[in-house]
Structure 1
Amino acid sequence: MNEVNQYILDAIKINVWGGFSSPADVQELISDLLEEGADEQTLRQSVGNEFKAKLEAEKSWPKVTDFDRLDLVFNSLKDKGIICLHNAGYTMSDGHEDSHEVLHKHPIGKFFGYCFYHGQDLERAVPGGGLMLAYDHIDGDVPEKISVAQTIKQELEKEGFVLEWDGTTRQRIGIPNFDWKHRGSNCI
Structure 2
Amino acid sequence: MNEVNQYILDTIKSHVWGGFDTPDDIQEVISDLLEEGADEKMLRESVSTEFMKKLEAEKSWPKVTDIDRLESVFLTLKTNGILCLHNAGYTMSDGHEDSDEALSSYPKDKFFGYCFYHGQDLERAVSGEGLMLAYDHVNGDVPEKINVAQTIQKALKKAGFDVEWDGTTNQRLSIPKFDWKHRANSR
TM-score when normalising by structure 2: 0.98
* Aligned pairs (5 A) from 1:72-91: 72-91=72-91
Which SS does the other structure have where 2:9 is aligned? helix
Distance 2:83 2:118 in 1: 14
Distance change in 2, residues 1:150/1:118 (3 Å): same
Read off the aligned partner of 1:8 and give its amino acid letter: I
Residue 54 (structure 1) aligned with residue 54 (structure 2): yes
Deviations 1:151-177 (A, max 9, x none): 000000000000110000000000000
- Per the TM alignment, residue 127 of structure 1 is displaced from its structure 2 partner at its CA by 1.0
- Per the TM alignment, residue 184 of structure 1 is displaced from its structure 2 partner at its CA by 2.9
Percent identity reads 74
Which SS does the other structure have where 1:133 is aligned? strand
Distance 2:108 2:134 in 1: 21
Which SS does the other structure have where 1:36 is aligned? coil
Distance 1:127 1:60 in 2: 18
- Per the TM alignment, residue 98 of structure 1 is displaced from its structure 2 partner at its CA by 0.1
Distance 1:123 1:160 in 2: 23
- Per the TM alignment, residue 129 of structure 1 is displaced from its structure 2 partner at its CA by 0.4
Counterpart of 1:27? 27
Distance change in 2, residues 1:183/1:116 (3 Å): same
Runs of 4+ in 1 over 4 A off after TM superposition: none
Which SS does the other structure have where 2:135 is aligned? strand
Given that 1:20 and 1:185 are in contact with CA atoms closer than 8 Å, whether structure 2 keeps it comes out as: no
Distance 1:78 1:51 in 2: 31
Counterpart of 1:7? 7
What stretches of structure 2 of length at least 5 have no aligned partner? Answer: none
Given that 1:88 and 1:99 are in contact with CA atoms closer than 8 Å, whether structure 2 keeps it comes out as: yes
TM-score when normalising by structure 1: 0.98
What stretches of structure 1 of length at least 5 have no aligned partner? Answer: none
Given that 1:95 and 1:117 are in contact with CA atoms closer than 8 Å, whether structure 2 keeps it comes out as: yes
Which SS does the other structure have where 2:179 is aligned? coil
- Per the TM alignment, residue 114 of structure 1 is displaced from its structure 2 partner at its CA by 0.1
Distance 1:139 1:60 in 2: 44
Counterpart of 2:140? 140
Counterpart of 2:17? 17
Which SS does the other structure have where 2:181 is aligned? coil
- Per the TM alignment, residue 72 of structure 1 is displaced from its structure 2 partner at its CA by 0.3
Greater relative contact order (CA < 8 Å, ≥ 6 in sequence): 1
Counterpart of 1:44? 44
Counterpart of 2:93? 93
Deviations 1:86-141 (A, max 9, x none): 00000000000000000000011000000000000011000100000000000000
Q: How many residues are aligned here?
A: 186
RMSD (Å) for aligned C-alpha atoms:
0.8
Distance 1:36 1:184 in 2: 31
